Amino acid sequence: MRYLPLAFDVKDCPCLIVGGGSVATRKARLLIKAEARLLVVAPEISDELQRLATASGGEIFREQYREELLGPAQLVIAATADADINRAVSADARARRLPVNVVDAPELCTFTFPAIVERGPLSIGISSGGAAPVLARQIRAQLEALLAPGIASLAELAARMRDRVKASLPEASRKDFWQWVFSGPVADKVVAGNVVDGENELLEALQKWQGSPAPGGEVYLVGGGPGDPDLLTFRALRLMQQADVVLYDRLVSPAVLDLVRRDAERIYVGKKKEFHSVAQDGINQLLVDLALQGKKVLRLKGGDPFIFGRGGEEIDKLAGAGIPFQVVPGITAASGCASYAGIPLTHRDHAQSVRFITGHLKEGELDLPWSELASPGQTLVFYMGLTGLQTICSQLVEHGLAADTPAALVEKGTTSEQRVVVGDLRTLPQLAETEAVEAPALTIIGGVVSLHEKLRWYHPQ
């Protein structure tokens, strides 16, 4: 790291801008936001830049740059099209030990302007030290998308309440209180625009914190999607960064798990065929126990927690124990894997409906309404159907579906290891064995599978 990221307080400070064009104007806009006083020198100065300098209480010098103009300056920016003038400004400022920025010339700078994400009093700077400004701007765009506009109101609320919290709580409790504010219902209300309700909740909580321990824990039931971390929702990412402890299963990809808060405790509770590291009843109770310890618990599931994810069972237990919880839906495997395989689940030329079915064997049997499933004009998606694939295909044919009905297996869909094996009801079981398809794998059956070769767009490396 060559450049040390710092935040300058330039309120009412005289800042000299050498240059009068569009680049100088852009820098002036930033300085005005920080309430600086602008000194502008250039033979020609844009109308907007003149207005900004005047509004700041600064001065305008319609002349060529000369060293004497550095006298009152506390910060200097060179933004001219003349390389010789820019070099002279840099040398003169350095000689006076003034911080100087020369636009598009990092070798002449003692500081650079970062790409800035601004939300009220909260500001984030992303800097490459002038090495890759376009990359810094792209990262800024990603952060802009992640940070809700309402977070500015949350920062402003914290500023208003800071002294009150300081007077009400001992130092040892303050950090935990603010962490609760920024990661709980207060933040949810304020970011959503309910500032008054959020402030009232903060004040009620402050009274409780003064005379009792911190409020109890909470559980976040979050869908982690089918594997590609880019498919996570913004809310999922936010809660993943707030959790004290995470319970995750084997369908959560390593790339998604890497986005959980680094210091969070991780507990694996995955299930495989004939092997459960923790029984479901044990998982349900563990969620309750951890929340009662005052922890923020992330229950991270592959896909969507309410589609064959037993999420309903888990929150039923939480509701019975009086534990607060939130549910964040995720992209379910059927949608994600089919999209990445180029198989539209409801193309109107092939299917008028789609059905999601569990292919999980219960006591070695698949008890399903085969006659209904064998109806034409629909797409069938089987979750956890790899073990029972032979039974699925043979039963569908036996109950009237054509043996040449297209069928596919999508293994590890949406990840860099994705494979798509295409056949029909007659050939797919043998293909699964020949190609050594492994779980997690999704089975898709119906005419839409015939579109795979034409519409496939995702080519994992």
Residues catalogued as catalytic: 249, 271
Q: Tokens 């959020």 map to which residue?
A: 198
Other residues' Cβ atoms within 10 Å of the Cβ of residue 344: 18
**Binding region for S-adenosyl-L-methionine:** 226, 302-304, 307, 332-333, 384, 413
**Binding region:** 22-23, 43-44, 226, 302-304, 307, 332-333, 384, 413
Query: Which residue, among 70, 50, 69, has the nearest Cα to 60 in the 3D structure?
Result: 50
**What crossing angle do the helices spanning 195-211 and 151-168 adopt, rounded to 10°?**
30
Look at the chain and count its residues.
461
Enter the DSSP assignment of 135: H
Query: Which structure tokens are listed for 276?
Result: 């459960």
Other residues' Cβ atoms within 10 Å of the Cβ of residue 330: 28
Query: Which structure tokens are listed for 261?
Result: 């808060």
Give the Cα separation of 107 and 399 in Å (integer). 75
Q: Measuring CA to CA, how many Å separate 140 from each of 145, 146, 375?
A: 9, 10, 51
**Binding region for NAD(+):** 22-23, 43-44
Query: Which residue, among 2, 41, 33, 6, has the nearest Cα to 113 in the 3D structure?
Result: 6
